[in-house]
Each structure stands twice: as C-alpha cells, then as structure tokens.
Amino acid sequence: MKTHLNVALIGYGYAGRTFHAPLIRAESRLRLHTIVSSKGEQLLAEQPGVQLVSDLAQALANPDIDLVVIASPNDCHYPQADAALRAGKHVVVDKPFTTTLAEARQLQVQASQHQRLLSVFHNRRWDADFLTLRQLLDAGSLGQISLFESRFERYRPQVQARWRESAVAGGGLWFDLGPHLLDQALQLFGLPHALHADLATQRNGAVATDYFHVTLHYPRLRVLLSASCLVSGGSPRFAVHGTLGSYVKYGLDTQESQLKLGEVPGCAGWGHDPLPGLHYVQQDGQEHGHAVPMLAGDYRHYYAGVAAAILAGAANPVPASQAIDVMQLIELASASAAQGHTLPVR
C-alpha cells in the first residue's frame, strides 16, 4: 500500500502560496512534488526541491502525481479539474468549487466515473470561532436558534487591479467570501427553503460585487450573511440569538494572518484566538454575559482528511455534494438579486 501521495499544486498566487503549499507540507502523508506556475525564481526560492512546470498538461502526464490541487483563478477551476479527473488524478479544488452549478455537477459525475476523490477546500470549517460556536450549538446552550448573523467585513476602499475584483466569471466578493459563509451556515442548519439576496457595487470604480447581504429562510430561523469592502470595524463576526441566550464574537480567526507571516502550521500558538466570545443570558430581567474561551482552529485537519480518504478509505472531509449545495445557493443569490425577489431553494 502507498504511504504517501505526490501532489501537484496548480497556481502559486495568493491561495496557492499562502494556504495550500504550507498546509500540504504540514501533512506527513503528502509530498509537494510539482507546482504549475510562471513564478520561477520566487517559487524555487520559497519551495526548494519542488519541480516547476509551466503547463498543466505536463503535470497531468506525470504518472508520479497522485493528487492535483487547483488554486488558480475561479474561472479555471472547472476546466482544470475536469482535465485532472480525466487524467486519473484525485482532485482538490479551492473555493468556490466552480463558477456555475452545472459545472459543479458535471465534475461530480466525472469523479464518480473515474473513481477518484473530488474535494473542495472549505477550510473555514476549522476556524477557531466556528468550531467554538458549533460546540455551543451542539450543547444546546443557546436553545432554539431564531437569528444567526455571520459577517466577514473588510476595509479596502481602493479597487485593485486583480482578477478577484474584475468583471469576470467568478469575480467579486460574493464568489470570494460567500462560499465561506454559506458553507458554515449549511454545516449548522442544512439547506434553507428560500433565499433573498442583495448584491451591490459600492466603491468608486468597482466593476464586480463588493457588498452582499443574503438572507436564508428556514421555517422559524433566519440566517443573515453579509460582507463589505467598506467597513472599518465594529461589526461582530458572529451574532447568534436563541431561546436560552445569545452569543457574540468579534475578530477573525488568526490562521490566515499566521500563514501570511510565514508561520508553520502547527507551531506554538497555531490557531489560537485570544479574543473570547460572549455568551449572554437574561436572569431576573437583567442581562448577564460571560466569556467563552476559543477552541483552537486548525486548517491542517482538511488535508489530513484528504490523505486519509485517499490512502485509507476514510470519509472525504468536504465531498463534492456539499460544495454543490453551496454552488446552488451562490447561483440562486445572483438570480434573487437580479430579480429583486425571494426565491425558493429546490
């Protein structure tokens, strides 16, 4: 039996360099074998011992490659994943899975036909704040939830010349941050029965969505998901209200900042969030709040799960079917915003 997998990383931009390369290296059963990129000197200096090729076909033709990780621009996800599956490789795709629901479903068919693992990098299931919140909800500490607010705010008033902010398929904030917020909500509550979305461009010179406010409708529960490029601060990451209490959490998970600083996943303090959440309850007509310490976040669990799924038949940490649910809501929100109506989720 194989004890490790050789990995080809497609793309060495922000996602490939900051997230995937260090997390792949942190998993003992994975070997970062090849990177497909045009960033020659920078890449070789940062990733010694890795083969550099400029063409995807070269990596797919190499029989030593077992797993292909796609961290290229969003509109490349489908054709590159399709080519990798047809070449008999296991595939991880960075979020968003694809740019359309039809593409996502077609990749699932290809993976099934070729009997290969297909997984999507919804890494924020392993954020410290989300893990802690999930523990609170599983314990019933807040009772029956009536309102769940999840925000991912930024302050980037200047439009940047990059594909994420361009008028291309998969560009804009909804395709960038929407998949994170949707995936977390679906993990907690499942698919809603309806959705209403407001997508906008608010910054001077913006050509792609830089604001969204999306409401997921459940029988009693309402889930509000929002993000903006023009929020300087003051908004909670989570605000959750139930029949037994409320929970509010400020600040973002620290792992992305740690990765940007070049810290090695698993180092001392990895995934530690120093800012506790606050659990509020009403007693004798008075509001009482107490701090809730954070569980440690750890994105390493994703690639550990991928390795175990391929080598030992364990469960896929993020199967394509779950990412397809996210893509259904991504696409439906765009239709809702264009029509100005609440739309049913099928």
End-to-end CA separation in angstroms for the chain: 42
C-alpha angle 177/240/128, rounded to 5°? 55
Residue 108: CB atoms within 10 A of its CB come to 18
> Given this model, what pLDDT does residue 40 score?
75
User: What is the tens place of the pLDDT at every residue in 51-86?
Assistant: 999 999 999 999 999 999 999 999 999 999 999 999
For residues 87 and 109, the answer to whether their CB atoms sit within 8 Å is: no
> Given this model, what pLDDT does residue 160 score?
87
**Which tokens belong to 123?**
């890494």
Superfamily of domain 125-298+329-344: Dihydrodipicolinate Reductase; domain 2 (3.30.360.10)
> Given this model, what pLDDT does residue 137 score?
97
CA pair distance 22, 19, nearest whole angstrom: 6
Low-confidence ranges of the chain (pLDDT < 70): none
> Given this model, what pLDDT does residue 163 score?
77
Residue 340's alpha-carbon distances to 131, 158, 180, 310, in angstroms, are 34, 28, 23, 44
Match 């310490």 to its residue by tokens. Answer: 293
> Given this model, what pLDDT does residue 139 score?
96
> Given this model, what pLDDT does residue 95 score?
97
User: What is the tens place of the pLDDT at every residue in 115-143?
Assistant: 999 999 999 999 999 999 999 999 999 99
Residue 103 has φ and ψ, to the nearest 5°, of: -65, -45
Which one is the CATH code of 5-121: 3.40.50.800, 3.40.440.10, 3.40.50.720, 3.40.50.300? 3.40.50.720
Please give the single-letter amino acid code of residue 231: V
> Given this model, what pLDDT does residue 42 score?
80
CA pair distance 93, 74, nearest whole angstrom: 10
CA atoms within 13 A on the CB side of 294: 24
pTM recorded for the entire structure: 0.95
> Given this model, what pLDDT does residue 201 score?
95
> What residue segments make up the domains of the chain, in order of their start?
5-121, 125-298+329-344
